[in-house]
């Protein structure tokens, strides 16, 4: 299936059709999710209106982790099968994933101010999200650190795969560290029982942000394909000029 999609022209043709659908689903779910989240869902008996931050926070946290996973998978595709499109996909995922992890940190901090009384608490989840952000950052920095682009993408792909091995360990060790050091109990977002009226906007927002990031990734890949085409054309015209002038 990936072999079949890896052809850039075919990719362009298919996404041409799919892209409006993705955008449509995004808009529908985003509007309904925001409506249910902001107006038609109950206040939390402890957290009050601040619970509404959850409708952005939880989907972006989920997406930040999921996007890292897909980034690493597409890096595997790039390194093993050497699909050039896989590299474009992973380099398009990276900034979006980094943004979502930053968004998670910001919304977590905004939620923390009324709940914990401070902007930042070294909570286990926030800390591992911070580490995840630095993995994204390392990937982006490393892929831009080489003279030739292909070296950067290969090296950074290896880093992403090492990160995939290392991130569960970091997550586990941070949880471990937290249980050792944290005596106070912290209110956890989304406990085992959650009201149906809260669950609906949450699921809608998860869908909305997932489709939104899918839309952005496809857009990003298409832009990069066009960029590559421009480069190739420029190279070709330069070569022709050289051969003309002799």
Partner 1 sequence: MSLQSSFIQIFISHIKREFLINFRSLVDVISIISFMILIVTLFVLGIGPFEEKLALISNAIFWIGLILAIIPSLEKTLQRDYDNGWLDQTITSPTPMELILLSKSLAYWLIVIIPLLISLPLFIVLLNINLKLIPWLLISILVGGLSISLIGIIGSALTLGAKRGNILLPILIIPLIIPILIFGVGISEAVRINESPLGNLFLLIGFTLIYLVISPFISAFLIRIAISR
Query: Residue 162 Cβ, how far from partner 1 at the closest point, in Å?
Result: 6
Binding flag, residue 146, partner 1 (CB under 8 A): yes
Binding flag, residue 142, partner 1 (CB under 8 A): yes
Query: Residue 246 Cβ, how far from partner 1 at the closest point, in Å?
Result: 31
Closest CB to partner 1 among residues 160, 221: 160
Token pair of 114 as six digits: 């009324």
Binding flag, residue 110, partner 1 (CB under 8 A): no
Binding part of the chain for partner 1, among 1-9, 56-64, 149-157, 203-211 by CB under 8 A, reads 149-157
Give the separation between CA 112 and CA 127, rounded to whole angstroms.
Answer: 13
| Sole binder of partner 1 in the list 125, 154, 224, 228 (CB under 8 A) | 154
Site string for partner 1, 158-177 (x = CB under 8 A): xx-xxx-xx--xx-xxx-xx
DSSP state of 44: B
Q: Contact, 53 vs 107, CB < 8 A?
A: yes
Binding flag, residue 200, partner 1 (CB under 8 A): no
Q: Hey, what long-range contacts does 217-221 have (CB within 8 A, 24 or more apart)?
A: 217/89, 217/92, 217/93, 217/96, 218/15, 218/18, 218/19, 218/22, 219/19, 220/92, 220/95, 220/96, 221/11, 221/15, 221/85, 221/88, 221/89, 221/92
Q: Residues of 15-41 as b/e, b for ≥16 C-beta within 10 angstroms?
A: beeeeeebbebbeebbebbbebbeeeb
| Sole binder of partner 1 in the list 44, 138, 164, 224 (CB under 8 A) | 138
Binding part of the chain for partner 1, among 142-150, 185-193, 200-208, 228-236 by CB under 8 A, reads 142-150
Q: Which residues bind partner 1 (CB under 8 A)?
A: 131, 134-135, 137-138, 141-142, 145-148, 151, 154-155, 158-159, 161-163, 165-166, 169-170, 172-174, 176-177, 180
């Amino acid at each position: 299936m990936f072999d079949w999609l890896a052809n850039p022209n075919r990719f362009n043709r298919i996404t041409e059709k799919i892209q409006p659908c993705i955008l449509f689903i995004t808009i529908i779910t985003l509007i309904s999710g925001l409506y249910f989240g902001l107006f038609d869902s109950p206040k939390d008996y402890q957290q009050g209106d601040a619970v509404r931050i959850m409708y952005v926070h939880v989907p972006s946290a989920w997406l930040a982790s999921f996007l890292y996973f897909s980034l690493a998978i597409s890096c595997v595709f790039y390194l093993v099968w050497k699909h050039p499109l896989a590299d474009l996909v992973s380099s398009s995922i990276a900034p979006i994933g980094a943004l979502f992890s930053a968004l998670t940190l910001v919304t977590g901090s905004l939620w923390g101010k009324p709940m914990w009384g401070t902007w930042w608490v070294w909570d286990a989840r926030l800390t591992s999200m911070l580490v995840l952000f630095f993995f994204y950052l390392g990937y982006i920095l490393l892929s831009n650190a080489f003279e030739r682009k292909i070296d950067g993408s290969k090296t950074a792909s290896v880093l992403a795969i090492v990160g995939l091995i290392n991130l569960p360990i970091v997550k586990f060790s941070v949880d471990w560290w937290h249980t050792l050091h944290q005596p106070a109990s912290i209110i956890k977002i989304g406990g085992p029982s959650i009201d149906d009226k809260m669950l609906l906007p949450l699921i809608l927002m998860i869908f909305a942000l997932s489709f939104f990031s899918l839309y952005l990734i496809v857009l990003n890949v298409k832009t990069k394909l066009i960029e590559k085409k421009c480069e190739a054309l420029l190279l070709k015209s330069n070569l022709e000029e050289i051969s003309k002038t002799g």
